[in-house]
Amino acid sequence: MATKKMALIATKGTLDMAYPPFILASTAAALGWDVQIFFTFYGLQLLRKSLDSIKISPLANPAMPMPVPMPVFVQMLPGMESMATMMMKDKMKKKGVASLQELRDICLESDVKFVACQMTVDLFDFQNSEFIDGIEYGGAATFMKFAGESDVCLFI
């Protein structure tokens, strides 16, 4: 049986949206799949050496369950984002959900290939030294090459 392939595009840099690409990639790798993730725009945040700055915001996120109802003007106050992030991480830990760092490490250990979008790296003036080692830099053509041969292809 030919090895299955999955190609993902990760475009978001918030805590909630960072999970799907890493969960799918680590799982597919455990199933023996070849996996490549193309990180572009805000998804580049997921390649930074430290993932500590990845946050979740209740603002403009009305579906996020809150312990108490919170009007939008309160959600705007300084520190609310950090507080929401802290509470979410705490809840995740209690429920046995892996940290982003752990999932990313599993992806790297299991040979998931990370590709950073060169155009958005330049757009946001990132330095390659800000990102983890072992990643590749490329553009849409690089992604299409792998995506064209993939069995599963998702834009996240």
Partner 1 sequence: MEFNKEFDASGLACPLPIVKTKKALKDMTPGEVLRVISTDPGSVCDMAAFAEQTGNALLEQGSENSKFVFYLKKA
Which chain residues interact with partner 1 by CB under 8 A?
A: 23, 26-27, 30-32, 95-98, 103, 106
Q: Are 36 and 7 in contact (CB under 8 A)?
A: yes
Which one, 15 or 121, has the nearer CB to partner 1?
15
Which one, 20 or 139, has the nearer CB to partner 1?
20
> How far apart, in Å, are the Cα atoms of 87 and each of 73, 74, 79, 91?
19, 16, 12, 6
Q: How far is the CB of 22 from partner 1 (least distance, A)?
A: 9
Q: How far is the CB of 77 from partner 1 (least distance, A)?
A: 31
Task: Collect contacts of 89-97 with beta carbons under 8 A, ≥24 apart.
Answer: 89/15
Which one, 79 or 95, has the nearer CB to partner 1?
95
Structure-token pair, residue 80: 């609310």
Provide φ and ψ at 9, rounded to 5°: -115, 120
The residue whose two tokens read 């990639």 is 25
Which one, 98 or 132, has the nearer CB to partner 1?
98
Q: How far is the CB of 96 from partner 1 (least distance, A)?
A: 4
Q: How far is the CB of 26 from partner 1 (least distance, A)?
A: 5
